[in-house]
Amino acid sequence: MKLVPDDGWATPANGLDWTCRETMAHILDDLGFYAMLLSGAHRIEGYAPLMEFTPVPGRIEGTLWPEEDAGTEIMLNCLDAVGGLLVAVVATAPPDRIGWHPYGNPDRSALASMGIVELVLHTHDILSAHSIDYRGLAEVVSPSLDRIFPHATRTDDPWHDLLTATGRTPATRGAAWKWDSGSRTGGDRVE
């Protein structure tokens, strides 16, 4: 299996204004904050008020940053740890627990789908910057696409449908998009 070289994390991610390292930091932040949305007993409007910082002035802000000189193994260890946190919280949070998101207040299924979508899309952005082919698995992508992109055009290729819904195909590049993370068990829903 071909991986991002240890010195490849400063490379610009495909289609983004971020480096691959910054894109990984974004994934870590999303997965970590999604977990925090369900882990606390008290619901707040917004993300947990943790301090964000910018390691490089003028670049992306974040809270969960991998070590600046970390290679691929460390980056994947960080992803495993934070991704595992989201999996554990989604699996154990009460079914009626609702989080917050500007695109609809998510329940467990929405937060799981949001995490999957962030992970597979930005993995694609990172790996394609290094000419490494990547496709999210249909059995993972399809339910997430159904859950938070219910109005997206569907074909027999869920991966292409997700790329289309998120402005990552030649025909949709740069198109505005958002998902529907509204709860199916209560709370706000984006229509």
For residue range 121-150, list pLDDT tens digits in order: 999 999 999 999 999 999 999 999 999 999
DSSP state of 65: -
The distance between the two most distant Cα atoms of the chain, rounded to a whole number of Å, is: 46
**Contacts for 47 with CB less than 8 Å, ≥ 6 apart:** 33, 36, 37, 100
- How far is 54 from 43, CA to CA, in rounded Å? 27
**Residues in a beta bridge with 53:** 62
Give residue 191's pLDDT: 40
What is the Rg, in whole angstroms, of the alpha carbon atoms belonging to the chain?
16
- Evaluate if residue 94 carries a pLDDT over 60: yes
- Evaluate if residue 158 carries a pLDDT over 60: yes
**Contacts for 41 with CB less than 8 Å, ≥ 6 apart:** none
SS3 19: strand
In this prediction, residue 69 has a pLDDT band, given cuts at 50, 70 and 90, of confident
- Evaluate if residue 74 carries a pLDDT over 80: yes
DSSP state of 52: P
* 76-83, long-range: CB < 8 A, 24+ apart: 78/24, 78/28, 79/24, 79/27, 79/28, 79/31, 79/119, 82/27, 82/28, 82/31, 82/32, 82/35, 83/31, 83/115, 83/119
Cβ–Cβ under 8 Å, residues 145 and 152:
yes
Cβ–Cβ under 8 Å, residues 99 and 108:
no
- How far is 150 from 124, CA to CA, in rounded Å? 22
In this prediction, residue 65 has a pLDDT band, given cuts at 50, 70 and 90, of confident
Token pair recorded at residue 64: 């969960």
Cβ–Cβ under 8 Å, residues 168 and 90:
no
**Structural element, H or E, at residue 69:** none
DSSP state of 45: S
**Residues in a beta bridge with 12:** 19
What share of the chain has pLDDT > 90, as a percent?
A: 71
- Evaluate if residue 25 carries a pLDDT over 50: yes
- Evaluate if residue 84 carries a pLDDT over 90: yes
